[in-house]
């Protein structure tokens, strides 16, 4: 978020300086809920406030697949478990990729007329100059998804622990998903008699998301 002119400020969310002026920092600056709510100087990093904001963000994200429990303490544990399912899933997909598939440089090819001495373009089409420019590496979608899920997992666990959710419960939620995803992959590979392809993985993930939306 650019400094100076954030689109939503802490002041928009009711954050005020001691002199009563609306705070101009970006909403959620210095907290675990960047871009939303008050900044760290105006109540945004109080453990309870932070937890509620992180849970709300998770609810809105569409990544949690299905309704979350109402109580923030329960909701965050559910977020951790579901996000961990995603981390495990994408880690499995990434492990199956070849190193060169993970990041490919993006190449842009441009064609232009040759420049003649004096600056004019050479009209002869045989003298077209072909230039290839290598752009920043294009990261495989599975690696992006894995990294994003890992980041969310860190945020959720931090918010939970700071708000006093028991360490033991957070750890439990983090590990809950592991055997389930591995079991699914194992069953699928047995059923198909081969390793899962990118497309199989996509379908399996879609099925998992759907499973998460079932009100259990």
Q: List residues near Zn ion by CB under 5 A.
A: 10, 15, 23, 25, 39, 41-42
| Comparison of 33 and 42: residue with beta carbon closer to Zn ion | 42
Contact by Cβ (8 Å): 106, 134: yes
Minimal distance in Å, beta carbon 82 to Zn ion? 31
Name the pairing type of β-strands 103-112 and 129-139.
antiparallel
Minimal distance in Å, beta carbon 25 to Zn ion? 5
The C-alpha atoms of residue 27 and residue 3 are separated, in whole angstroms, by 11
| Comparison of 30 and 105: residue with beta carbon closer to Zn ion | 30
The C-alpha atoms of residue 149 and residue 43 are separated, in whole angstroms, by 27
Contact by Cβ (8 Å): 82, 205: no
Minimal distance in Å, beta carbon 29 to Zn ion? 7
| Comparison of 15 and 72: residue with beta carbon closer to Zn ion | 15
Minimal distance in Å, beta carbon 34 to Zn ion? 13
| Comparison of 10 and 51: residue with beta carbon closer to Zn ion | 10
Helix, strand, or coil here: 108?
Answer: strand
Minimal distance in Å, beta carbon 110 to Zn ion? 47
| Comparison of 10 and 160: residue with beta carbon closer to Zn ion | 10
- List the structure tokens of 129: 């100059």
The C-alpha atoms of residue 215 and residue 205 are separated, in whole angstroms, by 18
The count of C-alpha atoms lying within 13 angstroms of the C-alpha of 27, restricted to the half-sphere facing its C-beta, is 11
């Amino acid at each position: 978020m650019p400094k100076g002119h954030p689109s939503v400020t802490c002041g928009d969310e009711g954050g005020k300086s001691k002199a009563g002026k609306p705070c101009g920092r970006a909403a959620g600056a210095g907290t675990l809920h960047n871009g939303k709510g008050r900044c760290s100087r105006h109540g945004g990093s109080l453990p309870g406030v932070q937890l509620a904001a992180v849970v709300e963000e998770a609810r809105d994200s569409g990544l949690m697949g299905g309704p979350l429990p109402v109580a923030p303490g329960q909701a965050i544990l559910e977020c951790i478990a579901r996000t961990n399912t995603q981390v495990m899933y994408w880690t499995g997909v990434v492990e199956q990729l070849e190193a060169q598939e993970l990041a490919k440089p993006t190449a842009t090819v441009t064609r232009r007329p040759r420049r003649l001495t004096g600056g004019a373009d050479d009209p002869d089409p045989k003298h077209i100059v072909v230039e290839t420019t290598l752009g920043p590496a294009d990261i495989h979608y599975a690696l992006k998804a894995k990294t994003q899920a890992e980041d969310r997992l860190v945020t959720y666990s931090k918010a939970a622990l700071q708000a006093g959710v028991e360490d033991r419960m957070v750890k439990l939620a983090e590990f809950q998903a592991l055997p389930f995803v591995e079991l699914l992959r194992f069953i699928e590979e047995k059923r198909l008699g081969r390793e899962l392809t990118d497309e199989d993985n996509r379908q399996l993930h879609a099925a998992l998301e759907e499973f998460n939306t079932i009100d259990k």
